[in-house]
C-alpha cells in the first residue's frame, strides 16, 4: 500500500490545526522539531485506500526564515520534499494569505491550495471565484470549512491526484523587477552546477540574493548528511527520508 | 536518503553565497521581493474575489482605526482601565461590609458556643481568633472585588480588546529595546505572572525573552489586585469629598498600573542597553475580529477559574497561616510575643522604606503566593492583642491606624507589592524556563532592589517635606 507524505502550511489562525485534527482524529502524536522549541504534530489518515502521513507545519506569515517557525516550515518543504503541500488559506482575508501560497509555489509545484473558513466568508458577503484562483495559481484549489467538516472529501481527492501524479500542477511564476530577474538569471546556472536539481534553482537564487544565511547553513548541514561517505544515521535525523 | 549535491564541498556553497551577495550589491532586495508578491496577490484577488457588502467588513477596521490610533489609542485604553477599576471599587464596598458583619455575627455565636462547652481558652484562640477570623477576613476583603474585577476583565478580553492593547504598547516596547510580543506577555502578567513566564515562549530571540521574563513581575497579578484595591480605597481618597472618592481610588489603582508599566519599560530599556544588548527583531501581530462576548458563560467561567481559584488559594494558605500567626503572636519569650520579636527585627529597616516590621514580614512570609500577604498582615496585627470588632472595612482601617499607618504607609505598601520580587511559583517557572540560576536570582533581585529604592526615596522625600 502506498503511503504519501502531506504537509500542512498556512498563516496562523487559518484553521490549519482544525483541519489537521479533522483529518487525523486520534491518530496523531506531537513532539518537538529536532533541536527546536517548535511543536511538531504528525498524524495519519486513509483516503480511497491510500495512507497519508500528514505533518502540521508551524503557522507562519512567510517562509523567509525570520524565526525558528519559518525555518522549520521552509526546511521541511525544501529538504523533506513532501508528496503534497496543502496551503491552508483564510477565506476572509484571502489577499494577505495568498502571499504565503505564492512563496510555497516558488518552492514546489506539488501543492493543493485549500481555502478554509468559507462559511465565515459567506456570512461576510465575500464571494470567491475558485476556478479563477485555481487558474491563476496553476494549482488545484479546494474550498472547505474545517470546523463543520464540509468540502474535505473533495480536498482529499485533489490531494491524492497530485500525490499520485495524475495532476501535475504548473504553478504561477511571480515576475520580479528587472534588476532582480537579471540577478536570478546570472545565479541559476551556478546554482544548478553546485546543487544539481535537488532544489528549485529560481527559489534558491532568490533566497541567496536576499542574503538568507540560515538557508546556507541548512544546505551545508544537509550536504554533510547526504554525503555518501557519511552513511550514518545521526541522532536527530528524521527517519522518513 | 537524499542524493548528494552535484558538488559536495561547503566551499562551493560559500562561493555561491558570496556570488549572490555580490550581485545584490549589499542592497536589501527583500522589500522588492515582497512588494512584487503583494502586487501579484492583489491582482489575483481583484479578479476573483467579490465583496457584496464592504461596510460589513469595515466595522472592525473602523473601530481599530480609533482604538489603535496614535492619538486616541492610549486615552481610550486608560479610560477603559479606569472604568473597570471604578466598577470594581464602587461595587465591592457594600458586599464587603455585608460579608464582614455576617462573619462577625457568626463569630459571636461560635465564641458563645465554645464558652458554653468550656473549651480551653487557647483552643478558642487558635480556632476562632486565628483560623476562623483570618479566613473570614480574607473572604470578606478579597471576594467582592475579585467577583467583580475578573468577570469584567474577562469580558473585555473576549471582546478582543487585549490584542489592541498589545498593538498600542508595541511601539513603546520597540523603543525600549524589547520585543513587541513583550506587550502580550505583560498583558498575561495582569492575570498571573507565573503563567506569563510560560507565555514568553512565544518570543524567539533568547535576549528578548529574558528581557520579558525579568520585567514581567512589574505588572500586578491576580494575587496583588486585592491589596492594591483595598489600600487605595481605605487610605488614598481620604481628603476628597465622598462623591468623588470612588473615582479617586480608581485613579490611584490606575496610577499603580501605569507605574508598573513605566518601570517595565525603563528596566527593559536599561537592560537592553547594558546586559542584554541587541536590536529588536520584527514580528507580525494579527488583530482578531471583535466578537460579542458570551456574557453569562464568560462571567461563570471567570468566576470559577479566577475568582474562586484565587480565593481558594488564599484561604488554603491563609488558614494554616492564621493558626501559625496566632500561635506566634501568643507565645511569649521574655515578655514579648515571638511575632513581635520578629517584627521588631525587621522594623528599623522597614521604617526606613516607609513600611513597618509586620508589613515586611508579611511580604517575606508571602513569598509562596502574593494572595496571602494581606491576610498574614491582618492576622499579625490582630494577634498583637489589638482586639477590634471585625464588622466592616472601617475596622480594617482602624486596625491599620492603630498600628501607626498613614497614607504614606499605604502608598509604600502598594508600591512595594507592585514592584517586589515575583512569587515562589513564578520564580520556579523562571528557573524551569531559563535553566539558569543567574537569571532566576536576578529576576528576584532586580525587582527587590527597585522596590526598596523606590519606597525608600518616597518615604524619605515625604518625610523631608513633612507631609506626614
Q: Which candidate from B10, B36, B44 shows the least CB-CB separation from A220?
A: B10
Band (B6; pLDDT cuts 50, 70, 90) = low
Of B204 and B225, more confident: B225
**Least Cα separation, residue B211 to chain A (angstroms):** 18
Q: How far is CA B452 from CA B85, B419, B422, in A?
A: 27, 9, 14
Contact criterion met (CB < 8 Å) for B36 and A175: yes
Q: What is the per-residue pLDDT for B347?
A: 92
Contact B418, B224 (CB under 8 A): yes
Question: Which H helix or E strand runs over A36?
Answer: none
By CA distance, what is A241's nearest residue in B? B1
For residue A55, the SS3 value is strand
ipTM of the complex: 0.87
Of A66 and B159, more confident: B159
Q: Which candidate from B16, B32, B40 shows the least CB-CB separation from A191?
A: B16
* Sequence-distant (≥ 6) Cβ neighbours of residue B358 within 8 angstroms: B343, B377, B380, B381, B403
Cell numbers 503572636 correspond to B329
| Contacting residues of B for A222, CB less than 8 Å apart | 2
| Contacting residues of A for B42, CB less than 8 Å apart | 95
By CA distance, what is A228's nearest residue in B? B4
- Spatial separation of the C-alpha atoms in residues A108 and A57, rounded to whole Å: 15
Contact criterion met (CB < 8 Å) for B53 and A222: no
Contact A79, A95 (CB under 8 A): no
Contact criterion met (CB < 8 Å) for A177 and B36: yes
pTM: 0.67
Write down the domain spans for chain A. Answer: 3-164, 178-230
Q: What is the per-residue pLDDT for B216?
A: 92
Contact A58, A38 (CB under 8 A): yes
Q: Pairing mode, if any, of strands A50-56 and A111-116?
A: unpaired
| Contacting residues of B for A195, CB less than 8 Å apart | 5-7
* Sequence-distant (≥ 6) Cβ neighbours of residue A229 within 8 angstroms: none
Q: Over 70: is that where the pLDDT of B386 sits? A: no
Of B375 and A55, more confident: A55
- Spatial separation of the C-alpha atoms in residues B438 and B427, rounded to whole Å: 12
Q: What is the per-residue pLDDT for A113?
A: 97
Instruction: Return the C-alpha torsion angle A51, A53, A56, A57, nearest 10.
Output: -130
Contact criterion met (CB < 8 Å) for B13 and A186: no
Q: What is the per-residue pLDDT for B307?
A: 72
Of B322 and A124, more confident: A124
Contact criterion met (CB < 8 Å) for B24 and A172: no
Contact criterion met (CB < 8 Å) for A12 and B286: yes
B311-336 pLDDT, tens digit per residue, is: 777 677 667 777 777 778 778 888 78
B326-374 pLDDT, tens digit per residue, is: 778 778 888 788 888 888 899 999 999 999 999 998 898 888 778 778 8
Contact criterion met (CB < 8 Å) for B30 and A206: no
- For A100, the grid coordinates are 504565503
Q: What is the per-residue pLDDT for A235?
A: 42
**Least Cα separation, residue A22 to chain B (angstroms):** 23
- Spatial separation of the C-alpha atoms in residues B99 and A162, rounded to whole Å: 69
- Spatial separation of the C-alpha atoms in residues B377 and B318, rounded to whole Å: 11
Q: Over 50: is that where the pLDDT of B213 sits? A: yes
**Least Cα separation, residue B180 to chain A (angstroms):** 14
Contact B236, B254 (CB under 8 A): no
Q: What is the per-residue pLDDT for B229?
A: 86
**Least Cα separation, residue A161 to chain B (angstroms):** 24
Of B46 and B243, more confident: B46
**Least Cα separation, residue A181 to chain B (angstroms):** 10
| Contacting residues of B for A190, CB less than 8 Å apart | 16, 19
Q: What is the per-residue pLDDT for B393?
A: 67
- Spatial separation of the C-alpha atoms in residues B344 and B27, rounded to whole Å: 68
Of A43 and B64, more confident: A43
Interface probe, candidates B18, B34, B37, chain A, greatest A C-beta count within 10 A: B37
Q: What is the per-residue pLDDT for B142?
A: 72
Of B81 and B114, more confident: B114
Band (A155; pLDDT cuts 50, 70, 90) = very high
| Contacting residues of B for A99, CB less than 8 Å apart | 34, 37-38, 41
Q: Class of the A3-164 domain?
A: alpha beta
Can you state the angle between helices B373-382 and B309-330, rounded to 10 degrees?
Answer: 30
Q: Which candidate from A68, A99, A223 shows the least CB-CB separation from B38?
A: A99
**Least Cα separation, residue B292 to chain A (angstroms):** 15
Q: Over 80: is that where the pLDDT of A67 sits? A: no
Q: What is the per-residue pLDDT for B8?
A: 53
Is the sign of the CA dihedral B195, B196, B202, B206 positive or negative? negative
Q: Which candidate from B14, B37, B48 shows the least CB-CB separation from A133?
A: B48
Angle (nearest 5°) at CA B111 between B108 and B115: 135
* Sequence-distant (≥ 6) Cβ neighbours of residue A31 within 8 angstroms: A39, A40, A42
* Sequence-distant (≥ 6) Cβ neighbours of residue B266 within 8 angstroms: B176
**Least Cα separation, residue B190 to chain A (angstroms):** 24
Of B167 and A105, more confident: A105
Q: What is the per-residue pLDDT for B390?
A: 52
Amino acid at each position: 500500500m502506498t503511503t504519501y507524505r502531506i504537509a500542512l502550511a498556512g498563516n496562523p489562525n487559518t484553521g490549519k490545526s482544525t483541519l489537521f485534527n479533522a483529518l487525523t482524529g486520534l491518530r496523531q502524536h506531537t513532539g518537538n522539531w529536532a533541536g527546536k522549541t517548535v511543536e511538531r504534530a504528525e498524524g495519519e489518515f486513509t483516503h480511497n485506500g491510500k495512507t497519508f502521513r500528514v505533518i502540521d507545519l508551524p503557522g507562519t506569515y512567510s517562509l523567509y526564515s525570520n524565526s525558528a517557525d519559518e525555518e522549520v516550515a521552509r526546511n521541511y518543504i525544501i529538504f523533506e520534499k513532501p508528496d503534497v503541500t496543502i496551503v491552508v488559506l483564510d477565506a476572509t482575508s484571502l489577499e494577505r494569505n495568498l502571499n504565503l501560497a505564492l512563496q510555497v509555489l516558488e518552492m514546489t509545484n506539488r501543492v493543493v491550495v485549500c481555502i478554509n473558513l468559507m462559511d465565515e466568508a459567506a456570512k461576510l458577503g465575500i464571494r470567491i471565484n475558485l476556478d479563477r484562483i485555481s487558474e491563476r495559481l496553476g494549482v488545484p484549489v479546494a474550498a472547505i470549512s474545517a470546523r463543520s467538516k464540509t468540502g474535505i472529501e473533495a480536498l482529499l481527492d485533489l490531494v491524492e491526484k497530485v500525490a499520485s501524479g495524475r495532476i501535475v500542477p504548473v504553478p504561477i511564476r511571480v515576475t520580479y523587477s528587472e534588476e532582480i530577474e537579471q540577478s536570478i538569471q546570472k545565479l541559476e546556472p551556478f546554482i544548478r552546477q553546485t546543487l544539481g536539481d535537488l532544489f528549485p534553482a529560481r527559489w534558491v537564487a532568490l533566497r541567496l540574493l536576499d542574503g538568507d544565511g540560515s538557508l546556507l547553513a541548512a544546505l551545508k548541514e544537509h550536504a554533510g548528511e547526504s554525503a555518501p561517505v557519511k552513511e550514518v544515521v545521526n541522532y536527530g535525523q528524521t527517519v522518513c527520508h | 536518503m537524499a542524493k548528494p549535491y552535484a558538488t559536495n564541498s561547503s566551499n562551493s556553497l560559500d562561493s555561491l553565497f558570496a556570488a549572490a551577495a555580490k550581485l545584490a550589491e549589499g542592497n536589501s532586495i527583500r522589500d522588492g521581493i515582497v512588494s512584487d508578491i503583494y502586487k501579484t496577490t492583489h491582482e489575483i484577488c481583484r479578479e476573483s474575489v467579490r465583496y457584496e457588502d464592504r461596510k460589513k467588513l469595515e466595522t472592525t477596521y473602523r473601530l481599530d482605526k480609533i482604538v489603535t490610533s496614535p492619538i486616541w489609542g492610549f486615552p481610550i485604553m486608560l479610560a477603559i482601565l479606569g472604568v473597570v477599576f471604578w466598577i470594581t471599587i464602587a461595587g465591592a464596598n457594600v458586599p464587603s461590609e455585608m460579608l464582614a458583619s455576617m462573619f462577625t455575627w457568626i463569630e459571636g455565636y461560635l465564641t458563645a458556643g465554645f464558652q458554653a462547652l468550656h473549651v480551653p481558652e487557647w483552643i478558642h484562640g487558635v480556632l476562632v481568633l486565628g483560623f476562623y477570623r483570618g479566613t473570614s477576613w480574607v473572604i470578606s476583603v478579597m471576594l467582592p472585588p475579585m467577583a467583580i474585577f475578573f468577570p469584567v476583565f474577562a469580558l473585555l478580553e473576549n471582546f478582543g480588546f487585549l490584542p489592541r492593547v498589545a498593538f498600542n504598547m508595541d511601539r513603546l516596547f520597540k523603543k525600549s529595546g524589547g520585543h513587541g510580543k513583550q506587550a502580550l506577555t505583560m498583558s498575561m502578567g495582569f492575570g498571573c505572572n507565573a503563567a506569563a513566564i510560560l507565555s514568553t515562549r512565544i518570543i524567539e530571540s533568547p535576549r528578548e525573552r529574558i528581557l520579558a521574563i525579568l520585567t514581567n513581575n512589574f505588572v500586578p497579578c491576580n494575587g496583588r489586585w486585592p491589596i492594591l484595591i483595598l489600600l487605595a480605597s481605605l487610605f488614598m481618597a481620604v481628603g476628597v469629598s465622598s462623591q468623588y472618592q470612588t473615582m479617586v481610588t480608581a485613579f490611584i489603582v490606575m496610577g499603580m498600573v501605569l507605574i508598573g508599566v513605566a518601570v517595565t519599560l525603563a528596566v527593559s530599556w536599561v537592560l537592553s542597553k547594558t546586559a542584554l544588548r541587541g536590536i529588536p527583531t520584527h514580528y507580525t501581530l494579527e488583530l482578531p475580529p471583535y466578537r460579542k462576548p458570551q456574557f453569562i458563560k464568560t462571567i461563570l467561567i471567570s468566576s470559577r477559574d479566577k475568582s474562586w481559584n484565587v480565593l481558594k488559594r488564599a484561604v488554603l494558605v491563609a488558614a494554616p497561616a492564621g493558626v501559625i500567626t496566632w500561635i506566634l503572636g501568643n507565645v511569649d519569650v521574655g515578655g514579648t510575643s515571638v511575632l513581635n520579636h520578629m517584627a521588631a527585627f525587621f522594623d528599623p529597616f522597614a521604617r526606613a522604606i516607609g513600611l513597618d516590621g509586620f508589613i515586611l514580614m508579611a511580604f517575606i512570609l508571602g513569598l509562596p503566593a502574593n494572595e496571602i500577604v494581606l491576610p498574614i498582615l491582618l492576622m499579625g496585627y490582630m494577634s498583637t492583642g489589638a482586639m477590634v470588632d471585625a464588622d466592616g472595612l472601617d475596622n480594617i482601617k482602624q486596625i491599620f491606624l492603630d498600628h501607626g499607618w498613614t497614607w504614606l504607609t499605604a502608598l509604600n505598601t502598594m508600591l512595594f507589592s507592585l514592584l517586589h520580587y515575583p512569587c515562589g511559583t513564578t520564580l520556579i517557572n523562571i528557573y524551569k524556563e531559563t535553566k539558569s540560576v543567574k537569571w532566576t536570582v536576578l529576576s528576584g533581585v532586580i525587582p527587590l532592589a527597585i522596590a526598596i529604592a523606590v519606597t525608600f526615596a518616597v518615604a524619605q522625600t515625604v518625610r523631608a517635606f513633612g507631609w506626614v
